[in-house]
Structure 1
Amino acid sequence: MRRRISVAETAPTQPGTTGSFTTGEWWRDAVIYQVYPRSFADGDGDGMGDLRGIEERLGYLSELGIDAVWLSPFYRSPQADGGYDVADYRDVDPLFGTLADFDRMLQTAHELGLKVIVDIVPNHTSSAHPWFVEALESPSGSPERARYLFRTGTGAAGELPPNNWSSVFGGSAWSRVNDASGEWYLHLFDTSQPDLNWRNPEVVDEFKSILAFWAERGVDGFRVDVAHGLIKHDELPDFEGITGEMLEGGGNRGPMWDQDDVHEIYRGWNEVLKAFDGDRMLVAEAWVAPAERLSRYVRADEMQQAFNFDFMTVGWNAGRMRDSIQSALATNRAVGATTTWVLSNHDVVRHASRFGLSDPSAWPKGISATDEQPDSALGVARARAATVVMLALPGSAYLYQGEELGLPEHTTLEAELRQDPNFWRTAGVDIGRDGCRVPLPWKGDAPGFGFGPSGSTWLPQPASYSELAADRQDGDPLSTLELYRRALLLRRELQLGRAELSFNASTGDTLDFTVAGVRVLANLGAEPVELPSHHEVLLVSDDAAVDAGQLNSNGSVWLR
C-alpha cells in the first residue's frame, strides 16, 4: 500500500523566529512582505486598512518568519489611483492615520526585528500636489511649469496632443490645459497623475530631500515606483506601440522607458542613503528586458535590488522558469547584485488564480465573472509548489499579502464597485487590479472576516475567504499558512538565500537544482517522477505531492 508523506511529518519542531540580521547588507537574502495598507487590517473600523491595523498585526508577520515589510503608499492623496497619486510626500493621509501612527508602527516593527521599506512615487505627482496647482496657475515657460512636461499641441491651432503616446491606463497620455496657453501636460498614467520633468534640477533636489526625510525617521529602504520611466527621450518622439504593453522578453519599450540618463538619478539617491547607517536600500520597480538591461539598475553605485518580473511572468512552465532563474542569477552575479524573486503583487492577478487557468502561463489583466474561472484547487496546489521553489532560490524573495493564505483573485466583483482607474479609462476592457486588492480575512466567522472592528470593508470579500482566514489555518499542519511558516524557517536555518545554486540534469517538465546541500525538485508535468533514493524529505508543497518514492504532478519538494 502506498504511503503519503504528510507535510506535518516534515515540519520543524521549533517555532518561528523574528527576522533580524546581524550581518550587513541584510537585503541580500531578505524575505520581504508587501502590505497594501488599505487592504491589510483596519484598526479604527471605517472599512479601510490603516497604520494602526498594520501595527496590530506585526506580531503575525514576525511569526510568519519574514525579515522586512514593504508598505505601499500611505501619503496624503486624493486616492485616484490607490495612493499612487501623491499630494504630499512628507505626510500620512488621514485615511491611514498620522505621522505619529507611522512612527509608532515603525518602532514596533523594529522592536520585532523587522525592517520597514516604504514606497516612493517619483515618476508623477497627484494633480492636487501644490507644485501642479502652481503650474496650472502660472504661464507657459514659467519655472512652475518647468517642473512637469508641458508642451504645445500639434495641429493648426494646437488642438492635437504633442505626440501619439498612450496612457498605461488607456486613452491618450496627454491632457490639454484649459487656459490661454492651450498647452498639454503628459501623464503616462491617469490624468490626475502628471509626469514630473526629471531633467529639472529642482525635481532632483526635492526627491533627495524626501528620501532623507523618511530615512531620518528610520525607514530601512524604498521601493521605487515606475523606476524605469523617470527620464523620457529629449524629443518626445512618436511611438508606434502601446505605452504600457509588455512585449516579448518581458519589458516595456519606447522613448518613455529605460532611458540611459535615468541611472544618474539613482547614483544620486545612492549617495543620499550612504549618509545614513543601517544598510538602507532601494529596490526598483522596473519592467525592463532583457536581464542585462535590468542589471544596470543594481550596479554598485545605484540600487541594491530590482524586481525580477521575468520570473513572475513566465507562468507554470518548467523550461521558461529554468531559463529565467539561470538568466537572472548570471546577469546579477556579473554586477555583484542580489537577485529578487516574486510571484504576485498589488498590480497582477494572484498566482493562485493564474496557475488555475487552462493556460497556466497566461497573463490576464484581471479576471471578471464573464471570463474563464480558475480551478481553485489546482491553482493553489501549483501556487504552493511554485512558492516552495521560489523560497529555495538564492537572493531575496517578496511575498504579497494574503498569498501565505492561498488567497485567490476575487473574480466576481461587480463593475460599479471597482475603483481601479485602469478599469474605468478602458471602459472595462482591462478588468484592472481590484481583484487582488480585496481586504484580507483574519477571522473566518466574523463580519468582514475580521478585517476590522466594524465588519466594513472598502471592497467586498468573496465567500471563499471564510475557510481561508488566518485563524482557520493557524495550527493546521496541512494549511498554506503553516507551509509558508515552515518554508521560511527552513530557508533561514539552511541559509538558502546566501548559497550558490547549481542545476541538475533536469529536462522537460521537471525543475531540479541543488542549493546549500538541499536538492529541490518540482514536477510541472502531468506524470509522476521518481525521487532519488536515500534522501530525507525536508519540505513538501502538499500532503499528496510525494507518494511511494515519486513526486506527483503539481508538487515540489526539498530533499537532503
Structure 2
Amino acid sequence: MSDTVWWKSGTVYQIYPRSFQDSNGDGVGDLRGITSRLDYLAWLGVDAIWISPFYPSPMADFGYDVSDYCGVDPLFGTLEDFDALVAEAHRRKLRVILDFVPNHTSIAHPWFAESRASRESAKRDWYIWRDPAPDGGPPNNWLSNFGGPAWTRDAATGQYYYHAFLSEQPDLNWRNPAVREAMHDVLRFWLLRGVDGFRVDVIWHLIKDEGFRDNPLNPAFVPDLPEINRFDQVYSCDRPEVFDIVAGMRAVLREHGERVLIGEIYLPIERLVAYYGENLTGADLPFNFQLLSTPWQADSVAGLVEEYEAALPDGGWPNWVLGNHDQPRIAARVGEAQARIAAMLLLTLRGTPTLYYGDEIGLNKIAIPPERAQDPWERNEPGHGRDPERTPMQWEDAPQAGFSTVEPWLPLSTDAGRRNVDELRDDSGSILTLYRRLLWLRRDHAPLSTGSYRTVSLADELAGNLFIYERFKDDACLRIALNFGDRSQRHALPDGTTWTVLLSSRSGRSGAREAGSLELGPNEGVILAPVIAG
C-alpha cells in the first residue's frame, strides 16, 4: 500500500464529545460544539478527528451502551448536525472517524428487547444466553470488566445473558450471520454519510469461546488490581475466530474507497499484531497502547519501539497512542516536564499517532469530588474511575473556561484561567505551541510522516536516560534526541557533520548549529537536520 494513503501520513485527534464544546448551555458538549472548533483543529495541524460515541443511549456508560446505531442522541444534536459537521470538516481537509461499538448494545436496544422476550424469539440468538450452572449460579466464572460477574439472570426466561461490561450492555453474538450483516449495514449507513473510517471498540472481545470454558486463574493477580485481572481472559476474548470478523468489517469499508479501520486492542505486542490479519486483511491500525504501561525510561521505551517494529508484519503500518478516554492523562503519568518529551516521542516515531484532546494544553489529573463522580466503573470499583481524563476542554480565561455558559458535567482544572487555548496559543514556550510545531513539522518533512526508523542510542546513552533515533526517507534524514531525565546529558554527533536544531522543547534553541556533540538540558527533546554543504 502506498505511503501516500491519508491515514499513514496523517495524525488522529480524539474528541470525547461530552467534553469538547457545549453549544446549547446544558453543560455537556455536542456536535455543533465540535463544528464550532474545527478552525482550531485545522490551525493545530491534525488530519483527522475521531469522535467518541454520540448515538442514542440511556448513558449507563456514557454512550458505549447504544440503543440505536443509526442516529444521534438528542443530548448531542441531530443527524443534520452530524452531516453539517462532516461537511465543514471536509471543507477544512479534516477526516472524520467514528467510534463503532459492535461488541454490545444497550439493554434498551429493540434487538435486546425482542431477544429477551422469550426463548423462542427470532432474535434470541442475537445475544449470548446460557442456562444456569448446576447450582443455579452463573454459567461460568467470567467476570465483567467493570467489576462483578459477567452474567445476569433474566427472571422471565430463567437464563443468563452475558455482558463483558455493565449489565446494561449485553454482548451481541457475532457467531450469528444475521448479527454480522446487521452490523455491516450500520457501517454502510455512516459510510454513505461521508465518514472516513471507524475506531472499533473492544474489537478483541467480539468472539467468545464456543464451549464457554472457565477462564484460568491469573497467578500474577494482586488485590489492588481491578477484579477482572483475577483470571486470564483466554476464553472470554481474543479467540482465533475474531480475525474473520475483522476481515469482514474491513471488506465493507473497502466498498467505499480508502477508509480506515482502527481496532481497540489491549493485548501484548505478539497478539496485537495478529489483528493486521493474514495478508493485511484485518485492521489497518490495531491500536498500539504499549506506551501507556511501559516504564517511562529511555531504555524501556527504546526497547519497546524495537520490539514493536520487529513484530510488525510485512507492510503493516505502525501506530502509537499516549492517552485516551480510559487512561490517566499523560501529564499525570509522567509529569508536566516529561509531557513535552512524550509529545515529541509520539509525533516523531514511525507510524500514525493519535492525540487525545486536552493533552496539547497539558491537562493533568483533575480531582473529582465523590459527589460529582460520573463513571459507573468508579461506583462499582472505587479508585478505578475514568472521570479525571474526561474533564472539559479549556478554551479561554472566562467562566467555565469557554466550554459552556453553565457548570460543566465534570469539573475544570483549578488552573483553567491560565491553562487554556487562548492563553497558550501565542506563548512561544507553551506545550500547545510545541504540539503545533511538531504537527506542522510532520507535514513539512517526509521522513517524519512516512519515513523509516532506526535507533541510534548507545548503551551508555540509554543508561543515562537518552533515547536517540533517526527518521529517514530517500536522501533526507532527521535525528531525534530525547532526554528522559532531569539532568543534562551529552550526545556525541557523527564526525564531520553539522546539524541544525529544527525544534527543541526548550524555547530559544531552534535554528542553532550543533557539531561534535549535543548537550541536552533536563527534560529536553531536540529534532536535528544535517546541514547540507553548498
Q: TM-score, normalised by structure 2?
A: 0.90
1:455-494 correspondence to structure 2 within 5 Å = 455-494=406-445
3-state DSSP of counterpart to 2:470: strand
* Letter aligned with residue 481 of structure 1: L
* Paired amino acid for 1:297: Y
Of the three residues 150, 160, 172, the one matched with 1:173 is 150
The answer (yes or no) to whether the contact 1:381–1:542 under 8 Å persists in 2 is: no
Task: Give a deviation string over 1:141-199, Cα, whole Å, max 9, x none.
Answer: 5332211111111134x2x11111111100111111121x3211111101100011111
Give the corresponding residue for 1:449.
Answer: 401
Partner of 2:221: none
For each residue in 1:239-269, what CA deviation from the matched residue of structure 2 results, as whole angstroms up to 9, or x when unmatched? 1347977979xx9742112111001111111
Deviation of the 1:524 alpha carbon: 1.6
Deviations 1:276-330 (A, max 9, x none): 12x10100001122x2321221232121101111122214121221111112222
Structure 2 CA distance for aligned equivalents of residues 474 and 68 of structure 1: 20
Rounded to whole Å, the distance in 2 between the matches of 1:167 and 1:75 is 23
In structure 2, how many angstroms separate the alpha carbons of the residues matched to 1:245 and 1:519? 44
1:353 paired residue number? 332
**Please, which of 220, 230, 240 is the counterpart of residue 260 of structure 1?**
240
Unpaired runs of at least 5, structure 1: 1-21, 356-378
CA distance in 1, matches of 2:61, 2:229: 24
Q: In 2, are the aligned partners of 1:167 and 1:244 still within 8 Å (CA)?
A: no
Describe the shift of the 1:252–1:64 C-alpha distance in structure 2 as closer, same or farther (beyond 3 A). Answer: farther
Residue 199 of structure 1 pairs with residue 150 of structure 2: no
Q: Distance in 2 between matches of 1:253 and 1:328?
A: 23
Q: 2:59 matched to 1:103?
A: no
State the distance in 2 between where 1:162 and 1:244 align. 22
Map of 1:399 onto structure 2: 355
2:469 alignment partner, one of 493, 513, 525: 513
2:482 corresponds to 1:522: yes
The answer to whether the aligner puts 1:275 opposite 2:228 as a matched pair is no
Is the contact made by 2:147 and 2:228 (CA closer than 8 Å) also made in structure 1? no
1:427-472 Cα deviation digits (max 9, x unpaired): x1x331000100111111x1111002x2331111121122111111
Q: Please, which moves more after superposition, 461-470 or 91-100?
A: 461-470
CA distance in 2, matches of 1:241, 1:218: 46
Structure 2 CA distance for aligned equivalents of residues 253 and 559 of structure 1: 45
SS in 2 for 1:535: strand
1:295 corresponds to 2:273: yes
Residue number in structure 1 paired with 2:310:
330
- Separation in 1, partners of 2:190, 2:339: 35
Gaps of 5+ in 2: 219-224, 530-534
Correspondent of 2:129 among 142, 150, 156: 150
On the 8 A contact 1:298/1:335 being kept in 2, the answer is no
Corresponding residue of 1:340: 319
- Partners in 2 of 1:252 and 1:25 — Cα distance? 38
8 Å CA contact 2:487–2:523 kept in 1: the answer is: no
C-alpha contact (below 8 Å) 1:407/1:465 kept by paired residues: no
Return the letter of the residue paired with 1:390.
L
Aligned partners of 2:208 and 2:236 also within 8 Å: yes
SS at match of 1:399: strand
Match for residue 558 of structure 1? 527
Give the aligned partner of residue 540 of structure 1: 504
1:309 maps to which of 273, 289, 295: 289
* 1:162 is the counterpart of 2:139: yes
CA deviations over 1:54-104 (Å, ceiling 9, x no partner): 000000000000010000000000111110000000000000000000000
2:411 partner SS: coil
Letter in 2 for 1:149: I
Partners of 1:80 and 1:536 in 2: CA distance:
53
Using the alignment, how far apart are the partners of 2:337 and 2:509 within structure 1?
9
Q: From the superposition, tell whether residues 431 and 440 of structure 1 become closer, same or farther in structure 2 (CA, over 3 Å).
A: same
Partner amino acid, structure 2, of 1:385: I
2-structure distance, mates of 1:462, 1:525: 27
Matched, 1:414 2:390: no
Q: Aligned AA for 1:166?
A: L
Task: Report the alpha carbon displacement of residue 505 of structure 1 after superposing the two structures with TM.
Answer: 3.4
Contact 1:168/1:188 (<8 A) preserved: yes
Report % sequence identity. Answer: 41
How far apart are residue 545 of structure 1 and its match? 9.1
Pick from 149, 157, 160: which aligns with 1:184?
A: 160
Cα pair distance change 1:421/1:544, threshold 3 Å = farther
What does the per-residue CA deviation read over 1:93-126, in whole Å, with 9 as the maximum and x for residues that have no partner?
0000000000000000000000000000011000
- After superposition, the C-alpha distances for 1:380-402 in whole angstroms (9 at most, x for unaligned) are 11011111122111110000000
Kindly tell me the number of residue pairs found equivalent between the two proteins: 502
Task: Say if 2:10 is the partner of 1:34.
Answer: no
Provide the rounded CA distance (Å) in 1 between the counterparts of 2:66 and 2:325. 17
Secondary structure of the 1:161 match is coil
Per chain length, whose mean CA-contact separation is higher, i.e. which structure has more relative contact order (CA < 8 Å, sep 6+)? Answer: 1
Asked if 2 retains the 8 angstrom alpha-carbon contact of 1:115 and 1:220, the reply is yes
Aligned in 2, Cα 1:154/1:79: closer, same or farther, shift over 3 Å?
same
Q: Is 1:425 aligned to 2:380, yes or no? A: yes
For 1:147, the aligned partner's letter is W
Equivalent residue runs for 1:214-233 within 5 Å: 214-233=190-209
Compared CA separation, residues 328 and 261, structure 1 to 2 (3 A): same
Amino acid in the other structure paired with 1:354: R
Measure, in 2, the Cα distance between the counterparts of 1:202 and 1:354. Answer: 43
1:252 touches 1:287 (CA, 8 Å); kept in 2? no
Offset at residue 218 of structure 1 (A): 0.4
**Mapped contact 1:449–1:455 kept (Cα < 8 A):** no
1:252, 1:288 within 8 Å by CA — same for their partners in 2? no
Report 1:71-86 matches (<5 A): 71-86=51-66
Amino acid at match of 1:442: W
Deviates more, 1:522-531 or 1:73-82: 522-531
Match of 2:450 among 479, 494, 498: 498
2:428/2:507 contact within 8 Å kept: no
Find the aligned partners of 1:245 and 1:318 in 2 and give their Cα distance.
32
